[in-house]
Chain A
Amino acid sequence: MYALQLATAGLAIGSVYALIAIGVVLIYKCSGVVNFAQGAFVMLGAYFTYAITRLGLTPVIAVFLSTVLMAVAGAATERLVLRPMLKAPVVAIMMVTLGVLIFLRAVALAVWGPDQIAFPKLFPDGAIEIFGIFITYNYLTAGSLSICLALAFLAFYRFTAIGLMQRCTADNSRAALAIGIHTSNQISLAWSMSAGLAGLGGTLLATLNGLSLGLSDIGLIAFPVIVLGGLTSLAGAVVAGLLLGVLQAFTDGLVTPMLEGLLRAYTTIYSVGALQQVLPYALLILVLLVRPQGIFGWRGSERL
């Protein structure tokens, strides 16, 4: 029962991880760039939603508008920052996205200040109990929305025409160009979709955890997720995100107290600290050593 409760909590947060990770994989597949600024997109999406509700618009419109704004922001980032760097080495491109992260964080700091802000209530208060598992409406909706969005996106990628074009560009951009696909537009599209998804993820995350600059740190969790799932697999990102969320919840709820019980009985070490935070990274190293392409990735994708 306790374990099921933990698993539910883990799945809810994991689905948000998945949403964010999909964005990173999307950009990587299309343009070969790892977007360190994904966390900043997450944060900005939440802040935009907040700002728009402050203007008096209803939450639903606010979420929609903020997603649109984020899509624009994503495309803008690609055009302004990444385009000029097409020929630059991988190191430089990674660093430039890091620069974007720092810059966007600073802009948020300047506009909204360093303090936490009360995020508008998007979902009703209260909770329900299913089979003895207690879950708030907020958690339920955020979790299911994330999962639906992730799956919807996967479907879009697989079954629609634009999705096909995206896949072609991702697979072999030269060949795609040869058959008439406007690859640079596809790349911009990938960035805007990715930013839009991140923004949505940010809004949902803010309903769960509140609005603050700290939202951008969630972007870092995307990396263990995508390494675990395979850098080139969207489905892998979803599965890995959920898995990691559940793993973290179990670590917090079961492993940590067990370990601490052992340590306290036999040694002077009193606590294991934030084990659930370091766990994804330890797992990441393990995966890189044993199976670098992740659960779903293809061999050879780790080469650049």
Chain B
Amino acid sequence: MKRVIKSTIVGLGLLVAWVATPALSADLSVCIWGTITGPDALVNGMSYGTRDYFEFLNQTKGGIGGNKVQILLLDGRYKLDEELKNYRRCVDQENSVYVNGWSTGSVKALREQIQQDAVPFMTESFASEALDPVKLPYIFMAGPTYEQQMIIALRDLATKGGKTLIIMHPDNEYGRGPVNVVRTSGIIEKLGLNLVDTIEFPYDTQDLTAQMLRVKSKNPDLVYVQASTPQLIVVLRDAAKVGMSAKTFVGNIYNISPAIPQQLGESAEGFRAIQVYSDFGSDIPAMKDILAFKAKNKVEKEDVYYMKGWFKGIVMSKAIEAAIAKNGGTVPSDIKAFRTSVRDQMVALKDVDVGGITPAASYADHQGSTRARVAEIKGGKYVAIGDWINAR
């Protein structure tokens, strides 16, 4: 028995030592994690896009300021402990200068550590709790918050003369949080709208027929759905089952996905969503770069999330570039100073051209662009209707 214990301990110790040894870190490292496999893997174009942009820089310009960027893309699996583990790997082992996290939960749990580590952190989340330029100076996001998105949709409804509203959302943080904020803020009443019902459903739902019957019985002017694409697909499918038109439904930025018209066909016509980023394939300068990249590499996802990823890549690399330039053109050897410098340069970004993916981005408010517009599914494709509306 003693032998067993001894040999096991030695074995485990070796394993831990191997895993714990800091890797030979490159000068310039950027670390990304996302749900590569997991419940919201459908939207992981956001992570691939960022990784691909840095790869693009490496391939066409030799990196940033002549320094190749070492990019690491990890799988967070939408599990908090995996994401926390990835954070430590990024900051501690890889010595990354910029970290791109995924879930709202992880950015909340990591708030203090990000502050202590003083590492620039770009989050995929649009939760208002992750946005605080004063208290969370190192955390950045890539667009308007969920609340702001909802307000844009509501404003749109109010101007078109609608009155009754139903909100649907899943029973997770992503669903409840923003909805509660908007609901308790009083803005719905201020816009002259009447919230007749709020419906919560399980986030891994496969069947919402009963809920849709409930919605149908109230006959609202608008149903705002604060959900991810997989859930929205269930919503629209079951709406069709009970005879409701997709025209009544509006979703947030995560509902601009080719999967929706693809899987629902006719039942998706008329559905509207908030669009912050231009869709993949639209006639913008950034698409030229993406297509050039695609010619030589494999592009995992071709959707609006990929565009968000590309957008993040652009703004992150611009900040890093400015920081290197400030250091006389070489990568600073002190990683702490480098990170702080990148953060300062990030906040200093003003009216940056992001190739048409969004209107010019400024990061003084840590958000980039707070403008959005409404896009509607017509003939199986998302068509922008109306102008860019500013959430602020």
Query: For the complex, is A141 an interface residue (Cβ under 8 Å from B)?
Result: no
Q: Is the CB of A125 within 8 A of B266?
A: yes
Query: For the complex, is B297 an interface residue (Cβ under 8 Å from A)?
Result: no
Q: Is the CB of B266 within 8 A of A139?
A: no
Name the interface residues of B201-219: CB closer than 8 Å to any CB of A.
201-202, 204-207, 209-211, 213-214, 217
Q: Is the CB of A136 within 8 A of B240?
A: yes
A136 CA to B20 CA, complexed, in Å: 57
A16 CA to B259 CA, complexed, in Å: 26
Other-chain contact of B37, A2, A114, A271 (Cβ < 8 Å): A114
Minimum Cβ distance to chain B for residue A231 (Å): 25
Interface of B is mostly: helix
Q: Mark A256-279, 1 if CB is under 8 A from B, else 0.
A: 010000000000001111101100
In the complex with contacts A2-B217, A118-B262, A209-B207, A274-B243 CB distance below 8 A: no
Minimum Cβ distance to chain B for residue A258 (Å): 11
Question: Inside 8 A of B204's CB, which chain A residues have their CB?
Answer: 214, 217
Closest B-chain residue to A261, C-beta based?
A: B197
Q: Is the CB of B202 within 8 A of A277?
A: yes
Q: Is the CB of A209 within 8 A of B213?
A: no
Chain A interface size range: 35 or more
Chain B interface size range: 35 or more
Closest B-chain residue to A5, C-beta based?
A: B213
In the complex with contacts A270-B198, A271-B198, A277-B202, A116-B214 CB distance below 8 A: no
Minimum Cβ distance to chain B for residue A14 (Å): 11
Query: For the complex, is A210 an interface residue (Cβ under 8 Å from B)?
Result: yes
Query: For the complex, is A181 an interface residue (Cβ under 8 Å from B)?
Result: no
Which 7 pairs show the lowest CB-CB distances between chains A and B?
A: A252-B210, A274-B202, A114-B41, A118-B263, A253-B210, A209-B206, A9-B209
Q: List 26 A-B contacts (CB under 8 A).
A: A9-B209, A13-B207, A13-B209, A109-B37, A114-B37, A116-B42, A116-B259, A134-B242, A136-B240, A139-B241, A205-B206, A209-B206, A209-B234, A209-B237, A210-B234, A214-B204, A214-B230, A248-B210, A250-B210, A251-B210, A252-B210, A252-B211, A252-B214, A253-B213, A257-B214, A274-B205
Residues of chain B having any CB pair with chain A under 8 Å: 36-38, 41-42, 171, 176, 180, 197-198, 200-202, 204-207, 209-211, 213-214, 217, 229-230, 233-234, 237, 240-243, 259, 262-263, 266
